[in-house]
Chain A
Amino acid sequence: AQSVAQPEDQVNVAEGNPLTVKCTYSVSGNPYLFWYVQYPNRGLQFLLKYITGDNLVKGSYGFEAEFNKSQTSFHLKKPSALVSDSALYFCAVSLSTPKIIFGSGTRLSIRP
């Protein structure tokens, strides 16, 4: 069965520092990978996705993610964190159907 793991419940970073939110997956086949962000009292918003090709995917708000097939990872990164990046981040995977399997979420907290 396909699954997604986000090993950190919370990540704390100082404003201006680089941030990484980790995601690993377990699937048989070639996955499509997503990152979504949830701000307080809002629905999930799409950030970026990996389909095929270049392993480095750029998305909204300066975020990027690197697909690593050998390590089955899709970590979310940003070179310089902003306080406004504080939110709940979800990694997700899809295979051959539009059904998406979500990770448990990582709360990102950026301190001024």
Chain B
Amino acid sequence: DADVTQTPRNRITKTGKRIMLECSQTKGHDRMYWYRQDPGLGLRLIYYSFDVKDINKGEISDGYSVSRQAQAKFSLSLESAIPNQTALYFCATSAEGPAYETQYFGPGTRLLVL
């Protein structure tokens, strides 16, 4: 959805490099999420943030860090990229509310680590 944008859309990097993936949203949502998608594994949660001052680890946070610069911006960093971090990365947002709030996804960033 255009309401959630991700940059870059595609990225090739080398092992050991630091890279940042950026996410911006115009939906006015407080909650933001980073997922990675691997074939046959579905989406797995890396980090999530319920507001600017609240950041939480997901199920696969090792090797990643995040920054919530503003309500609308949530960045994911790979401090020292490794080949098994090659994946499709998605940012998502949701409104504050109960656990059945719908999540809205960006178009994804395809990352290749050589």
Residues of A at under 8 Å CB distance from B? 4, 9, 32, 34, 36, 41-46, 49, 51, 90, 94-100, 102-105
Q: 13 extra interchain contacts, Cβ-Cβ under 8 A, other than A104-B40, A104-B41?
A: A34-B102, A43-B90, A44-B90, A46-B104, A49-B100, A51-B100, A90-B42, A90-B43, A94-B99, A98-B94, A98-B98, A99-B99, A102-B43
How long is the Cα–Cα vector from A20 to B56 in the complex, in angstroms?
A: 36
Report 11 cross-chain contacts, Cβ distance below 8 Å, ordered by A residue: A43-B90, A43-B106, A43-B108, A44-B105, A96-B99, A97-B99, A98-B101, A100-B45, A103-B42, A104-B41, A105-B40
CB neighbours (8 Å) of A34 from chain B are: 102
Q: Measured between alpha carbons, how far is A43 from B106 in the docked complex, in Å?
A: 5
Residues of B within 8 A of A99 (CB): 45, 48, 58, 99
| Docked-complex contact B100 and A32, CB < 8 angstroms | yes
Shortest B21–chain A CB gap in Å is 14
Find out whether the CB atom of B103 lies under 8 angstroms from the CB atom of A100.
yes
Q: Which residues of A contact B48 (CB under 8 A)?
A: 98-99
Interface residues of B (CB under 8 A from A): 1, 4, 31, 35, 40-45, 48, 50, 58, 90, 92, 94, 97-108
CB-based closest 10 A-B pairs: A43-B105, A32-B100, A102-B42, A102-B43, A44-B105, A104-B42, A94-B99, A51-B100, A46-B102, A43-B107
Specify which chain B residues have a CB less than 8 angstroms from the CB of A100 in the assembled complex.
45, 103
With a CB–CB cut-off of 8 A, which chain B residues contact A104?
40-42
Q: Is the CB of B42 within 8 A of A45?
A: no
Min distance, Cβ A38 to any Cβ of chain B, angstroms: 8
What's the Cα separation between A97 and B100 when bound, in Å? 8
Q: Is the CB of A9 within 8 A of B40?
A: yes
- CB A48 to nearest CB in B, in angstroms, measures 10
A49: chain B residues within 8 A (beta carbon): 100, 102
Q: Evaluate contact between B103 and A46: CB separation under 8 angstroms.
A: yes
